[in-house]
Structure 1
Amino acid sequence: MSQERIFKVLLAPHVSEKTERSADGANQVVFRVVKDASKQEIKRAVEELFDVKVRNVQTVLMKGKSKGFGRIRGRRSDWKKAYVALEAGQEIDFLGGE
């Protein structure tokens, strides 16, 4: 996998109440990733970008919500979410605090 692809696989960390619970209990981090990314690509990208060891990766394809504004109907696009479980003792700090 090229360096360019590594930077394109991970889009952003996904922060919600559910992801915070999984981060505390199971030592997991949740990322929003490109839809065509494989588990191996996600694992390698996280290991190279954050210098951590990844235990496993689980992916979920999130379906876009149907929205309406008056008589106008629309749909948000589908996206992919990756639950990345880290090895014991590994941690990713997004805030960069001490």
Structure 2
Amino acid sequence: MKSPYDIIRRPIITERTSELMEDKKYVFEVDRRVNKTEIKQAVEAIFQVKVTSVNTINVAAKPKRYGRYNGYTSEWKKAIVTLSPDSKELAFFETAE
């Protein structure tokens, strides 16, 4: 069995995803081989919250150039996780007070 930390790679924090966080929707980069059920179980295990839905997107590789060299970016999988209204918010930025 895979560890939850192998399934959830990192949170994706951009201006758009910060707006989604207000609606209790969080975006993560996940392993490309996992399904929605495994993502749901991993988020619930790591953060101790209740997940209502998981939407996944396969992000395709894009062509890039560096000088005279051509190549592609990596393919990866993105998961948008919606928490239940009674769940606590996930804190990615902890403030030391």
What's the TM-score, normalizing by structure 1? 0.88
What does residue 94 of structure 2 align with? 96
What does residue 29 of structure 1 align with? 26
What does residue 42 of structure 1 align with? 39
What does residue 20 of structure 1 align with? 18
Using the alignment, how far apart are the partners of 1:70 and 1:50 within structure 2? 43
What does residue 76 of structure 1 align with? 73
What does residue 11 of structure 1 align with? 9
- Any gaps of 5 or more consecutive residues in structure 1? none
1:66 to 63, 67, 70: 63
What's the TM-score, normalizing by structure 2? 0.89
Whose helix fraction is larger, Structure 1's or Structure 2's?
1
How far did residue 21 of structure 1 move?
Answer: 1.3
Three-state SS of the structure 1 residue aligned to 2:4 is: helix
How far did residue 56 of structure 1 move?
Answer: 0.3
Letter in 2 for 1:10: I
Aligned-pair identity in percent equals 36
Letter in 2 for 1:64: A
Using the alignment, how far apart are the partners of 1:69 and 1:49 within structure 2? 38
Using the alignment, how far apart are the partners of 1:70 and 1:47 within structure 2? 44
How far did residue 20 of structure 1 move?
Answer: 0.9
